[in-house]
Amino acid sequence: MKNPPLLKIYIGFSTVYLLLLLSGYESFDLFLKPILIPLLGFGVYFYKKFPSKNTLLTALLFSWIGDVILLFADIAEIYFILGLVAFLLSHLVYCVLFNKQTKTQNKKKRTLFLIGSLVIASYLIGMLTVLLPSLGELKIPVIVYASVISFMLLLAFNGFLIWKKPGNQYVFIGAVMFVISDSILAINKFYAPIEKSSFFIMLTYLVAQYLIVIGILKLNSGLTVATESKKI
């Protein structure tokens, strides 16, 4: 599967954007950040049809809404909360998306899944233990958000065990990067400032979205052809 041209443009714009962040030009957020996820979205939109295409586009749409809302997070706390809600919806849609993917490996790997589940549960408990004392009124929203993104990661890990390669690897690594991005954001906001936090948050976030999109496209690259062949 060759990457659609718009996904290559996404890489170029993302690279420019990240270099600007690294150089301290965070004011360019207003101009560059809102166009990045749409590039991914249009790349998916103009890709051939596959069963979960609209679900992937919906997840990207909520992510983009979250990106735009969070641009105003410094103005008032309500914008951070609304951005959190948008990304919560995005992660819920990603959960649905991952659950829709075709299982290609019938051999059960219960031990590996159990180990992965324990690691993810440990992350969730550890992160909440660190953050809860400083969350104030945001305790419940953050607990819900952390639980959902952990469940999203669990579904991606389950997919890593049962989906075809290399799409399973792309999606799983993308989900891990998403969790890392949100973890950096949470620690920076609620626990302790992290130097160049904006750069690291966006680096992991943009890589996460790209890998998940590429992974889903790879997982579905043969579905349309197979369906058409059956019709013939």
- What is the predicted pLDDT for the residue at 222? 74
Interval 73-98 mean pLDDT: 94
- For residue 217, the one-letter residue type is L
Q: In this structure, is the dihedral angle defined by the CA atoms of residues 67, 100, 173 and 134, taken in order, positive or negative? A: positive
- Which percentage of the chain shows pLDDT scores above 70? 93
Distance of alpha carbon 137 from the chain centroid: 26
Given a cut of 60, whether residue 50 has pLDDT beyond it is yes
Interval 30-52 mean pLDDT: 92
Query: In the structure, what pLDDT confidence band is assigned to residue 229 with cuts at 50, 70 and 90?
Result: very low
Highest mean pLDDT pick, 71-75, 147-151, 224-228:
147-151
- What is the predicted pLDDT for the residue at 179? 97
- What is the predicted pLDDT for the residue at 227? 43
- What is the predicted pLDDT for the residue at 74? 84
Q: What is the pLDDT of residues 165-223, one digit of tens each?
A: 999 999 999 999 999 999 999 999 999 999 999 999 999 999 999 999 999 999 998 76
Query: In the structure, what pLDDT confidence band is assigned to residue 228 with cuts at 50, 70 and 90?
Result: very low
- What is the predicted pLDDT for the residue at 188? 94
Please, what is the Cα angle at 81 between 133 and 118, to 5 degrees? Answer: 55
φ/ψ region of 108 (left if φ > 0, alpha if ψ in -120 to 50, else beta) reads beta
- What is the predicted pLDDT for the residue at 28? 77
- What is the predicted pLDDT for the residue at 223? 63
Place of tokens 């609620």: 190
Phi, psi (rounded to 5 degrees) for 50:
-150, 160
pTM: 0.91
- What is the predicted pLDDT for the residue at 41? 95
170 burial type by CB count under 10 A (0-12 exposed, 13-18 middle, 19+ buried): buried
- What is the predicted pLDDT for the residue at 96? 97
Across the chain, mean pLDDT equals 90
For 8, 150, 222, the CA distances from 153, given in Å and listed in that order, are 26, 5, 25
Q: What is the pLDDT of residues 103-133, one digit of tens each?
A: 887 666 889 999 999 999 999 999 999 999 9
Given a cut of 50, whether residue 26 has pLDDT beyond it is yes
Question: Could you tell me which of 34, 41, 36, 42 has the C-alpha nearest to residue 65?
Answer: 34
Interval 40-52 mean pLDDT: 93
Note the residue count of the chain: 232
CB 98 within 8 A of CB 155: yes
